[in-house]
Amino acid sequence: MKTEKTPQSGSVTTDPFPNSRKIYVKGNLHNVSVAMREIALTDTRLHGRAGQVEKNAPVTVYDTSGPFTDPNVEIDVKKGLPALRSEWIKARRDVEQLEGISSHYGQQRLSDPSLDALRFAHITKPLRAKSGANVSQLHYAKKGIITAEMEYIAIRENQRIQENLLELNGKAGSLAHQHRGHSFGANTPVKFITPEFVRSEVAAGRAVIPVNINHPESEPMIIGRNFLVKINANIGNSAVSSTIEEEVEKAVWACRWGADTIMDLSTGKNIHETREWIIRNSPVPIGTVPIYQALEKVNGKAEDLTWELFRDTLIEQAEQGVDYFTIHAGVLLRYIPLTAKRLTGIVSRGGSIMAKWCLAHHKENFLYTHFEEICEIMKAYDVAFSLGDGLRPGCIADANDAAQFSELETLGELTKIAWKHDVQTIIEGPGHVPMHLIKENMEKQLEHCQEAPFYTLGPLTTDIAPGYDHITSAIGAAMIGWFGTAMLCYVTPKEHLGLPNKKDVKDGVITYKIAAHAADLAKGHPGAQYRDNALSKARFEFRWEDQFNLSLDPETAKSFHDETLPAEGAKIAHFCSMCGPNFCSMKITQDVRDYADENGLNAEAITEGMEEKSREFASLGSQIYL
Amino acid sequence: MKTEKTPQSGSVTTDPFPNSRKIYVKGNLHNVSVAMREIALTDTRLHGRAGQVEKNAPVTVYDTSGPFTDPNVEIDVKKGLPALRSEWIKARRDVEQLEGISSHYGQQRLSDPSLDALRFAHITKPLRAKSGANVSQLHYAKKGIITAEMEYIAIRENQRIQENLLELNGKAGSLAHQHRGHSFGANTPVKFITPEFVRSEVAAGRAVIPVNINHPESEPMIIGRNFLVKINANIGNSAVSSTIEEEVEKAVWACRWGADTIMDLSTGKNIHETREWIIRNSPVPIGTVPIYQALEKVNGKAEDLTWELFRDTLIEQAEQGVDYFTIHAGVLLRYIPLTAKRLTGIVSRGGSIMAKWCLAHHKENFLYTHFEEICEIMKAYDVAFSLGDGLRPGCIADANDAAQFSELETLGELTKIAWKHDVQTIIEGPGHVPMHLIKENMEKQLEHCQEAPFYTLGPLTTDIAPGYDHITSAIGAAMIGWFGTAMLCYVTPKEHLGLPNKKDVKDGVITYKIAAHAADLAKGHPGAQYRDNALSKARFEFRWEDQFNLSLDPETAKSFHDETLPAEGAKIAHFCSMCGPNFCSMKITQDVRDYADENGLNAEAITEGMEEKSREFASLGSQIYL
């Protein structure tokens, strides 16, 4: 048991990325300026033309790190991040500021002096929709309103594609606008993402913008399969593990490396205070599993859970600014027996809590029976549903079974109810699934849940590698992302073994950025491939620093390179440590290219002409680079 | 530049795996005893029935580690491994022992006293096919002969499936006997691998057994898509990097973690001596790229390469016992211009060497023009072809282009010639390929190369993660393995950045075992899933030590677990660090299961009956485990 410690100035990571600067792109419809990271590149030295160079345009990349990586923003974790969205929210005139916190539990914690030392200092009065109003982005979208959040997202998703597409040498893909049954990228091309396209996808329920009106610090992002594939990082302290200070740094750290959302799964004491610190300092949407905290409130006795207590927990968290809730409303009493012959039964914590409650009372899951009341709370704060898959398989042997797919059908039924209330909804998916059974998950989800965004945990494609489950699951995650899954929940190397530390969080995030990006390439997202092309060009031209700076993890790339060839000179050397100075596979190409430039590209012509070329070549002592 | 050092006793890793013993399974047709690893498991403690236990049968796994992990075998790297196959080879009466080494270079090195200190002490006189004889396994297979190697492989591939299938609770897959266009596992089931099936696959050219008659130390293994997917690990020292001692340990180390073959890509000086040390101590087939050594012999000047010098190099290496040669005979003069407009040109070292030679002389590739003479050498020692893809793409942008696929067609043409000589042949593949373009590679390879086994490098599914290319490529490797690729060449975290150290080799091997195993599961190999099931059962029952011991890397799994819950007690505790003692998602299942045992599995009946059950349950204070 660690002694509690709250964040101090300097306890979060704030350095910018190498050779990168934060840029802000202005909107046209609203007063939005969208943060992006611009990576400056060095010049290309033209081979055999000493001194001559060619400029390389800077590369702009999607940036989830928030103000922490902008040296011009003063960071104070005790004050929290600037409230980017406050004006947009107020301008819609459909919210009111409450006199105080509505939840009993929230009031209790606030009035407990023993918590003063732990509490975030600047707790503002919560906002809530005016009576009768619905403040969800889905509600606005259906009414044809393009919100500031939607414009922000359109600009953000394009990553200045206009300029970047020019870098692609005609290698650009086209965005797979995917419909049911067409999840292999061969679809209606969308070359550019407009604010109206964002609105229409949200209105159709195909995409979700998790933006609680009480989390104005968050930079708007979208979860939908016709946009960049997103990743979530789970953090959270537990009785045995870590402090508030460590968890806040984990959140900032996860965003730095690319987490699009953070789920706070804290289970220790001080969950309420920990969450406040995390939300106030999070540039990305925060998700939670409210049943975890509810369980702590009844000292871990699932059978003591009640609707009233759970309802109070939802309001408590909604007023702090949680952007999406995992709700295990699909675990129905009649499905529980379907898990009896499984190899690993029920492995979802939320699922097992609800199963235990159902068995203890022999009643239907109260999340299911009170679902419409939950919707009323969600739309008053714009909290999105993440409908939990409490019966997901816990091993390869249990994949795609009756328990799993029965629950999925119920989640589809609940999606219709949520949409009736204009509540944004995503659907959670497995888990452990061998490769040949992955596509069926995507197809059934699209069918049963009417194309609501899918949000999967991996899936892990084998059970035999504990300690490497970030990899066993990245394989499944990349595939299901390609097939149409909108967000991938990361798995760290500690999965099944322990709680992730900072290194594990980074390993999990980078691994999932790889899976998500591989999926974006396969879907043909126009904003995906230019970064691969820029890095490959740098690699080919031995612009080592550019290769490092364009990579997902510049520090690691550079340190690996330096292990073999530490000298600074090696980074401008015209060869690499694998082939050595003697010869290099990439050098030859320049000769071929120079020749083609002179003689045109007709293969016949070239092979003819090469006779002569080969003589010159030999006469130069066969030195390609003089 | 490191000072050279040869292996000393104790310089290779020899400890057996935890709770594992080496077993030897006898054959029926030949005097073979097949090495396997048997992992002993602890008992299952039956819930709620204090003291009662259920035995768990030991699990047998495919073992590439060789005699090094058998405490009963005395290991002396200076003597090399026992010559397992000598008797089998002699018994076929088609080989003769030569008076001495035939290659000029080999003789030169042997007679150079300055190398005495480096030289492996016990160099035996090489074997060669008697005049007119063909000693390739393909030749025997076509004649209907089931060799000892084939029986060894049949037993090895089954991994005692008879017993193991019983462990599967009807969850067993069936082997995907894949034919062109049917690469999704839904194929003719093969429940058990017989020696005759091995022979027939080799005879059809669909599988290859790399077993040079001069490498009798190797344990026979097979490369073909109707068998377990295999992985290769590249090692090799270079002028700047490492010693012979380090490379031999890297080879032993790679086999320990699961490498099915090793490629020695040494490029430094003493390549000849390094190779001898590695082969004499390698329980797996050794592959090389002879052109690398040939290039060193002409001081790195590609244009100085000649057929005579290359031929001498092939004989030199064949007589040392190299089991397969990568030959870049498909890089034709007319294909070179097709690489001119690529983003990264030619990235294969062998490919660029041959391209440079072709340009310098404006002649056709001498590996292509002398191909039949190469076949004559291959069949005299049973060296298998690995036809190199010298024009493979070096980045996502260049994937599946004209240069790549033109070369592939030529490799198909060469395969026919090799088969005419009964020379075993596999085909090398990319490289860098986004997910949506992977399947086309497999389909074209099957079509153009008449189902000769495919051997790919990854492919990497994105270029933006240097430092993590074991992961970017494991995604592509798992997929192409599922589609039908027979062997996956590993990629380490150092790819593109530097030379792999021991840790990188282990990371690469484990990552590729994951990819290969995920592919075996997806193909429905009957010998694949029982290990997942055994591990998942152990996980579900909190048999922590069994979970560690059944994993690909017991050390890492155990150490990760101990980081969070170090106490020995935690390893027999009935909960895990993720959920804590308060409640655990897996506990609930036992209650469901016990209930189902009593009341049958009809959902109706159960939900009815649960009323009563829930009363009992409450009356027990809702404690599931007393």
- Residues B218-227: tens digit of each pLDDT: 999 999 999 9
Query: Of all helices (H) and strands (E), which one includes residue B59?
Result: strand B59-61
Count, residues in chain A: 626
Instruction: Search chain A and give the residue with CA nearest B268.
Output: A580
Neighbour tally for A587: CB within 10 Å:
19
Q: Which residues on chain A are in Cβ contact (under 8 Å) with B510?
A: 465, 468
Question: Does the annotation flag A496 for ligand binding?
Answer: yes
- Determine the pLDDT at residue A189: 44
Q: Which residues on chain B are in Cβ contact (under 8 Å) with A518?
A: 434-435, 461-462, 472, 475
pLDDT for B619 beyond 90: no
Inspect the interface and report whether the beta carbons of B463 and A536 lie closer than 8 Å: yes
Determine what percent of chain B is predicted with pLDDT higher than 70: 84
Those residues whose C-beta lies under 8 Å from the C-beta of residue A240, and which sit 6 or more positions away, are A1, A2, A268, B564, B565, B577, B580
Could you read off the pLDDT of A552-577 as tens digits, one per residue? 999 999 999 988 766 655 565 555 55
- Determine the pLDDT at residue A585: 57
Shortest distance, CA A279 to any CA of chain B (angstroms): 23
Question: Does the annotation flag A432 for ligand binding?
Answer: yes
pLDDT for B533 beyond 90: yes
Averaged over B509-528, what is the pLDDT? 94
Q: Is A440 exposed, middle or buried (0-12, 13-18, 19+ CB in 10 A)?
A: middle
- Looking at per-residue pLDDT, the higher value among A527 and A390 belongs to A390
Q: Quote the tokens at residue A328.
A: 């295990």
Those residues whose C-beta lies under 8 Å from the C-beta of residue B308, and which sit 6 or more positions away, are none
Picking from B86, B95, B76, the residue whose alpha carbon sits closest to that of residue B7 is B76
- Helices B349-361 and A603-619 sit at what angle, rounded to 10 degrees? 80
C-alpha to C-alpha distances, A549 to A295, A514, B492, nearest whole angstrom? 45, 16, 20
Determine what percent of chain B is predicted with pLDDT higher than 90: 74
Measured distance CA(A33)–CA(A25) in Å, rounded: 5
Q: Quote the tokens at residue B40.
A: 């002993």
Inspect the interface and report whether the beta carbons of B475 and A515 lie closer than 8 Å: yes
Inspect the interface and report whether the beta carbons of B171 and A434 lie closer than 8 Å: no
Q: With b meaning 16 or more CB within 10 Å and e meaning fewer, what string describes A457-476?
A: bbbbbbbbbbbbbbbbbbbb
Measured distance CA(B116)–CA(B125) in Å, rounded: 17
- Determine the pLDDT at residue B166: 40
C-alpha to C-alpha distances, B265 to A135, A272, B502, nearest whole angstrom? 63, 57, 16
**Interface test mutation site (partner A, options B343, B349, B438, max chain A beta carbons within 10 A):** B343
Quick check: helix, strand or coil at residue A127? Answer: strand
Task: Give the mean pLDDT of chain A.
Answer: 88
Could you read off the pLDDT of B453-512 as tens digits, one per residue? 999 999 999 999 999 999 999 999 999 999 999 999 999 999 999 889 999 999 999 999
Backbone Cα Rg of chain B: 26
pLDDT for B183 beyond 60: no
Could you read off the pLDDT of B591-609 as tens digits, one per residue? 667 666 665 555 555 555 5
Determine what percent of chain A is predicted with pLDDT higher than 90: 74
pLDDT for B132 beyond 50: yes
User: Can you say whether the dihedral through the CA atoms of B504, B509, B512, B517 is positive or negative?
Assistant: negative
- Determine the pLDDT at residue A550: 98
Quick check: helix, strand or coil at residue B544? Answer: helix
Cα A200 from chain centroid (whole Å): 22
Inspect the interface and report whether the beta carbons of B592 and A340 lie closer than 8 Å: yes
Those residues whose C-beta lies under 8 Å from the C-beta of residue B290, and which sit 6 or more positions away, are B310, B313, B314, B317, B325, B326, B327
Q: Which of A345, A586, A607 sits opposite B334 (nearest CB)?
A: A607
**Interface test mutation site (partner A, options B400, B436, B501, B504, max chain A beta carbons within 10 A):** B436
pLDDT for B9 beyond 90: no
Averaged over B409-432, what is the pLDDT? 98
Confidence of residue A88 (pLDDT cuts 50, 70, 90): very high
pLDDT for B424 beyond 70: yes
pLDDT for A181 beyond 80: no
DSSP B75: P
Could you read off the pLDDT of A371-381 as tens digits, one per residue? 999 999 999 99
Confidence of residue B184 (pLDDT cuts 50, 70, 90): very low
Inspect the interface and report whether the beta carbons of B171 and A531 lie closer than 8 Å: no
Query: Of all helices (H) and strands (E), which one includes residue B426?
Result: strand B425-429
Inspect the interface and report whether the beta carbons of B498 and A565 lie closer than 8 Å: yes
Q: Which of A348, A396, A618 sits opposite B585 (nearest CB)?
A: A348
Averaged over A45-63, what is the pLDDT? 85
- Residue pair B353/B305 in contact by the 8 Å Cβ criterion: yes
Measured distance CA(B175)–CA(B182) in Å, rounded: 13
pLDDT for B428 beyond 70: yes
Averaged over A180-203, what is the pLDDT? 67
Could you read off the pLDDT of A571-596 as tens digits, one per residue? 655 555 545 544 555 566 666 676 66
- Looking at per-residue pLDDT, the higher value among B621 and B447 belongs to B447
- Determine the pLDDT at residue B159: 80
Confidence of residue A3 (pLDDT cuts 50, 70, 90): confident
Measured distance CA(A448)–CA(A451) in Å, rounded: 8
Determine what percent of chain A is predicted with pLDDT higher than 70: 84
- Determine the pLDDT at residue A624: 30
- Report CA dihedral (B210, B213, B218, B222) to the nearest 10 degrees: 20
Inspect the interface and report whether the beta carbons of B589 and A344 lie closer than 8 Å: yes
Instruction: Search chain A and give the residue with CA nearest B609.
Output: A362
- Determine the pLDDT at residue A242: 78
- Determine the pLDDT at residue A556: 97
Could you read off the pLDDT of B133-149 as tens digits, one per residue? 999 999 999 999 999 99
- Residue pair A263/A230 in contact by the 8 Å Cβ criterion: no
Instruction: Search chain B and give the residue with CA nearest A236.
Output: B578
Averaged over A598-607, what is the pLDDT? 53
Measured distance CA(B583)–CA(A568) in Å, rounded: 55
Q: Which of A169, A344, A462 sits opposite B514 (nearest CB)?
A: A462
Averaged over B512-528, what is the pLDDT? 93
Confidence of residue A615 (pLDDT cuts 50, 70, 90): very low
In the chain, the amino acid numbered A19 is N
Quick check: helix, strand or coil at residue A376? Answer: helix
Confidence of residue B172 (pLDDT cuts 50, 70, 90): very low
pLDDT for A112 beyond 70: yes
Question: Does the annotation flag A96 for ligand binding?
Answer: no
Averaged over B440-465, what is the pLDDT? 98
Place of tokens 């240097």: B466
Q: Is A163 exposed, middle or buried (0-12, 13-18, 19+ CB in 10 A)?
A: middle
Could you read off the pLDDT of B289-346 as tens digits, one per residue? 999 999 999 998 899 999 999 999 999 999 999 999 999 999 999 999 999 889 999 9
Cis amide leading into A431 (omega within 30): yes
pLDDT for A613 beyond 60: no
Picking from B228, B233, B222, the residue whose alpha carbon sits closest to that of residue B258 is B233
pLDDT for A459 beyond 90: yes
C-alpha to C-alpha distances, B41 to A34, A211, B168, B236, nearest whole angstrom? 56, 50, 16, 38
Number of helices and strands (H, E) in chain B? Answer: 23, 19
Measured distance CA(B362)–CA(B359) in Å, rounded: 5
Cα B407 from chain centroid (whole Å): 25
- Determine the pLDDT at residue A527: 77
Confidence of residue A168 (pLDDT cuts 50, 70, 90): very low
Measured distance CA(A214)–CA(B182) in Å, rounded: 53
Question: Does the annotation flag B490 for ligand binding?
Answer: no
Measured distance CA(B286)–CA(B233) in Å, rounded: 10
Question: Does the annotation flag A381 for ligand binding?
Answer: no
Inspect the interface and report whether the beta carbons of A540 and B595 lie closer than 8 Å: no
Averaged over A323-338, what is the pLDDT? 96
Confidence of residue B622 (pLDDT cuts 50, 70, 90): very low
Least confident of A136-150, B469-483, B581-595: B581-595
Measured distance CA(B584)–CA(B589) in Å, rounded: 10
- Determine the pLDDT at residue B51: 76
Q: Which of B482, B532, B550 sits opposite A395 (nearest CB)?
A: B532
Q: Which of A533, A603, A614 sits opposite B362 (nearest CB)?
A: A614
- Report CA dihedral (A82, A83, A85, A86) to the nearest 10 degrees: -140
Inspect the interface and report whether the beta carbons of A344 and B479 lie closer than 8 Å: no
- Report CA dihedral (A354, A355, A357, A363) to the nearest 10 degrees: 110
Q: Which residues on chain B are in Cβ contact (under 8 Å) with A246?
A: none
pLDDT for B74 beyond 80: yes
Could you read off the pLDDT of A217-254 as tens digits, one per residue? 999 999 999 999 999 999 987 656 678 999 999 999 99
Taking every pair of C-alpha atoms in chain B, what is the biggest distance, in angstroms?
A: 92
- Looking at per-residue pLDDT, the higher value among B616 and B588 belongs to B588
- Determine the pLDDT at residue B179: 31
- Determine the pLDDT at residue B49: 65
Task: Give the mean pLDDT of chain B.
Answer: 88
- Residue pair A488/A229 in contact by the 8 Å Cβ criterion: yes
- Residue pair B560/A497 in contact by the 8 Å Cβ criterion: yes
Inspect the interface and report whether the beta carbons of A536 and B395 lie closer than 8 Å: yes
Q: Which residues on chain A are in Cβ contact (under 8 Å) with B551?
A: 464-467
**Interface test mutation site (partner A, options B175, B263, B304, B497, max chain A beta carbons within 10 A):** B497
